[in-house]
Structure 1
Amino acid sequence: MNNFDFSLVDARARYVQANAATLRWMLARPRLAGAFLNTKVNSLNLADYGDADGVRGPAYLYGWIQGRGLEAVATHAEFFEREEPDLAAELDAAGVALYHSLRDLQRRDGHGYFCYDRDLNPVYVGADGALHQQSAAGGVFTYSDAFFAKGLIAGAARYAPADVPQHLTYLAEVIDAIENRRFQMDERRHLSPHAASDEPEDFGPRMILLGAAGLLHRIGRSEHSAFADRFIAHVLERHFDPESGLLRNVPGTDVCNVGHAIEFVGFALDHLQGSAEPALVQRLQSVLSSSFIRGFVGPGLCLSVSAATGAPLSPYYPWWSLPETIRSAALCFAATGNGEILSIWEQADRAFFTHYWRGSVAYQTLTSNGPFDFVPATPDLDPGYHTGLSLLAAINMIDQPKEPSMH
């Protein structure tokens, strides 16, 4: 596709079409347990997973996916009210049911879990390959809590405004857990305070929860977003490597998840809403540029690279980091008008729609040899979260009236 001519008008139309196609595909599928989203499809052959597929199959519900899905459904419903009201109405019907089911699940003991069995009991597959009952989380919080909290806030803001305060309290509990070493990243083992405090200090939890800040601004709850400034400062102070311009996953170690670094930049700029100090914007722009330049060495962005050498450390090129690059580059371009950032946006757009996109879903992972069946976190396909919300952020940026001084 050497004749791929990038224009923001064309990109906007393509993003709206892609998001609508994903959402229609998802809405047409039978729900899990009556209300939960069902994206249980093999990304290579698009065949439905069945019970024979074990924990990939319909008997297992992934809390991560449902929390992400609720945020995506509620957010897209608001957008499509203007563009395609019939689609918005369908999204709202699904969103209301999903909201109440997810809220009830979280209310049982104040937590969301990574995986549930058919009876909605928390379970996990351990390193031994066996299925285990998950321990009660208690004072430990996880990525699943982060995704539940964001989803429930987005859902309540649209479907049950009186519930918003309780979900803001839940979000505050997740933030407190991150800042006090009670956040456990590895949900494929028993949850415990010891396991949480023993984990390496990866910037992942702060990065994921930073995504709540932009959401809070959009629903008129900016007064709850102060944590985001602390998170941004913490990540840049402790994880930024000035030699390479990359974010180290863990301070003092060599591995850099460039997709997570780019996602961090997008969430940070979404929170800062154009009001950031120029020096901070420049630092974020440099993380985006360095991460993309060093990671974009195959069909997409390599899963991880070396801070010391810049060399790829993984054979895998996941889909999600390209739409995240589109979001980050769009917001960064809005803040700076930098032509190099527009070029990054164009490259990410071209790579995603050329190599990954299949009309309504994407290949989850490519290697240099083509599509590969690699499941980094959950086997369900993306419910409009990484792809949809990232592209939607770019759409909203394109739609904003431009300041004449931007360029």
Structure 2
Amino acid sequence: MSDATNNTLLQEGASENTAGTVNSEAIISLRNISISFDGENVLQNLNLDIANGSFVTLLGPSGCGKTTTLRIIGGFVDPDNGDVLFNGQRINDLPPHKRQLNTVFQRYALFPHMNVYDNIAFGMKIQKKSAAEIREKVTEMLRLVSLEGFEKRNVNTLSGGQQQRVAIARALANDPKVLLLDEPLGALDLKLRKDMQVELKQIQSKLGITFVYVTHDQEEALSMSDVIVVMNHGVIQQIGSPTDIYNEPENGFVADFIGESNIVDGIMHADRDVSFCGARMECVDTGFAPDEQVDVVVRPEDVVVVPLDQASFSGTVLSTTFKGVHYEMIVEIPDQDEDWLIQSTVAQPVGEVVGMTVAPENIHIMKKYTGDYASDIDFEEFPEAAE
């Protein structure tokens, strides 16, 4: 990744810093962070800058180290090596309550014996703020999370979504510089989760503070984030905008983890000239060695079904499934180890031989990936902190 790309990503939200230097634009910087549990490396020399006012998501499968990273930032876990910087100042030795941040957990940790008002006011009472200040701030927070009129409600009578709003309001009431969110929507049903995704992004945009969000849900990350940090085995795989992560994955793991992908072997003969699935096709990628072995990525929605005489390659339909807005078909392509997944608005019968082609801009070329793909990983049982 070039310096120019790093600078752009930092302005948007996050960048990987491998030099170990202090970046004046970053509100949070992680430098050479490593940690292990029971002999298992959970984070390996991780470096990351997070810009002020951004919505940054740490995304990856269970055991990738994303929650551990969040807990190190929050002060709940100490790294074996490395530094945590806040506005350029080392905060490794600061306890969580002295850091200018708050955390929202998946388990909301509300006080069951307190009403909504007292839950939100709790931190401010600890700080011995005046009753007038507390009342004004609680009112502001209730308005922010759309819970006006709920002040005297017992939190045990609230729905899951309402309880989550109270937890967010309580975390924001102390005016943190950074809000850490550890899979906060995981306990909600699908509709509530989607509604809360929209609300969280609106809250972050309105307040303008930094959100660092942890999830394994790709759609959640793509819909809310300014920048996504994809992790696997304690290592950052790629940092980029949602569009870049989806359309231009840097390796096979990212391509496989972010949505469905067809990943096949290919040969990059020259700039914009690639062969795969027995076809030689035009693409838009450059910068590879002549006849370099590469991974070719094609999204299912980018495969176009065409008459056989117009096809770049063909295959036999093994299954067809109606998905509401389109059909998903599994297609067997001769001499390929893996079947292809394609999407079309027209169903093709099982056993039919179909022609396929892909537009040059929808053929993504990557350096050959030698690690595990997301669908192949057999994750060991890490301690909870390693999730």
How does the TM-score come out when normalised to structure 1? 0.26
Indicate the structure with greater strand content: 2
From the CA coordinates, give the structure whose radius of gyration is larger. Answer: 2
How does the TM-score come out when normalised to structure 2? 0.27
